[in-house]
Amino acid sequence: MKLHDVFARFKITLIISVMFIFSINPIYAAPENSPWGKDYFPNLELVNQEGKKVRFYDDLIKNKIVAINFIFTHCGDSCPAETANLRQVQKILADRMGKDIFFYSISIDPEQDTPEVLQAYAKRFNVGPGWSFLTGNQNDVTMLRMLLGLYREEIKSVSLAEHTTSFMIGNEATGQWVKRSPFDEPKALARQLGRVLSTFNAYHNSDLRTYDEAKKIPEMRKGEEKFRFRCASCHSLGKEDGIGPGLQDVTKLRNKAWLFRWLKAPDLVLAEKDPIAVELYERYNKVLMPNYKLDDAEVESLIQYMAN
Partner 1 sequence: MKKIIIAYKQIRIVISQVQKNKFKLVPKILESVIVASTISASKTNSTLAVGIALVTSSLFVVTQAEAGFNIPTATVNKITGLFTPVPSPLCIAGSCATEFTAKILLFDEFGTKNLSSTNSTVTLPPVLGDCSSMPDGAALDTFLKEDLNSTPSRLANISAANAWEVKIKDCVPGVTSTVAEGRPSGEEFAHQRWDEFPAQKYFQSAQTGARDNGGLRDNRQMHGYKTGEFAKGGLYYIDVDGDGNPGTQGLKIRLHPALPVQDKNSVWTFDGTLPPKLLMAKYGEALIFRHWNALPIDVSANNGFGRHTISTHEHNGHNGAESDGFMHAYSYPGQFYDYHWPMVLAGHDSINVGALSVKTGAPDGNGGITQVPGDWHETMSTHWFHDHMMDYTAQNVYKGNAAMMNYYSAIDRGREPANLAEASGSSDKPGYGCNYADNNPISNPSSFNVNLCLPSGSGLDWGNRDYDVNLVLADKAWDTSGQLKFNIFNLDGFLGDRMTVNWEYKPYMDVRARRYRFRLLNGAVSRNFKVAVVQALTDSKGTITSYKSIPFYMIANDGNLMQHAIPFPIKTQPIDPVTKKPDPTWILSEGLPEQGIAERYDIIVDFAQVPVGGKVYLVNLLEHQNGTGPSSIRKLVDVIGVPAIKGVAATKTSPAIAAVPAVTVDGLTTNATYVADGISGDPVVGKFLEFRVQTYSGTDLSMNPVDYMETVTVAGKQVPGRQMIPVNKPTPAELKAAVQRTFAFGQSNGTDTTPWTVKTDDISGGGLAADEHRVSAAPELPILPNDLGKVEIWHIQGAGGWTHPVHVHFEEGQILKRGGVAPPIWEKYARKDVYRVGPMLDSTTSIDMAIRFREFAGTYMEHCHNTQHEDHSMLVRWDIERPGQTLRMPVPMPDWNGTTYDQSISLPTVKFGDLSAKKSFKFP
Residues 5-64 that bind partner 1 (CB under 8 A): 24-28, 30-31, 33-36, 40, 42
Q: Which is nearer to partner 1, 9 or 74 (CB)?
A: 74
What is the spatial distance between Cα 100 and Cα 244, in angstroms, rounded to a whole number?
A: 29
Residues 178/69, Cβ–Cβ less than 8 Å? no
CB 3, CB 128: distance < 8 Å: yes
Task: State which of residues 4, 55, 195, 261 lies at the interface with partner 1 (CB under 8 A).
Answer: 195
d(CA 307, CA 42) in angstroms, rounded, equals 51
For residues 230 and 81, what is the distance between their CA atoms, to the nearest angstrom?
Answer: 7
Q: Which region among 93-101, 111-119, 224-232, 238-246 touches partner 1 (by CB under 8 A)?
A: 224-232
Binding residue for partner 1 (CB under 8 A) from 191, 266, 277, 289?
191
* Total of chain residues touching partner 1, rule CB under 8 A: 84
Closest CA to 5 of 56, 67, 46, 52: 52
C-beta of 187 vs 283, nearer to partner 1? 187
Applying CB under 8 A, among 58, 95, 162, 240 the residue interacting with partner 1 is: 162
Task: Please identify which residue in 12, 18, 94, 188 interacts with partner 1, judged by CB under 8 A.
Answer: 188
Could you tell me the CA-to-CA distances from 105 to 71, 203, 214 in Å, in that order?
6, 24, 36
Beta partners for 180?
A: 167
Taking residues 165 to 184 in sequence order and writing x for each that binds partner 1 by CB under 8 A, - otherwise, the string is xx------xxxxxxxxxxxx
Q: Taking each helix axis from N to C terminus, what angle separates 256-264 and 275-283, rounded to the nearest 10 degrees?
A: 60
Cα separation of 287 and 253, whole Å?
21
Contacts with partner 1 in 101-120 (CB under 8 A)? none
Does residue 303 belong to the site contacting partner 1 (CB under 8 A)?
A: no
First to last CA, the chain: 40
Q: Which of 156, 261, 270, 276 binds partner 1 (CB under 8 A)?
A: 156
| Residue among 2 and 216 whose Cβ is closer to partner 1 | 216
Does 261 participate in binding partner 1 (rule CB under 8 A)? Answer: no
* Cβ contact 307:272 at 8 Å: no
Tell me if 219 contacts partner 1 by CB under 8 A: yes
List, in order, residues 6 or more apart from 149 with CB less than 8 Å away: 168, 179
Which of these segments, 5-13, 93-101, 111-119, 193-201, binds partner 1 (CB under 8 A)?
A: 193-201
Q: How far is the CB of 127 from partner 1 (least distance, A)?
A: 21
Pick from 4, 55, 57, 77 the residue near partner 1 by CB under 8 A. Answer: 77
Least CB distance to partner 1 at residue 294 (A): 6
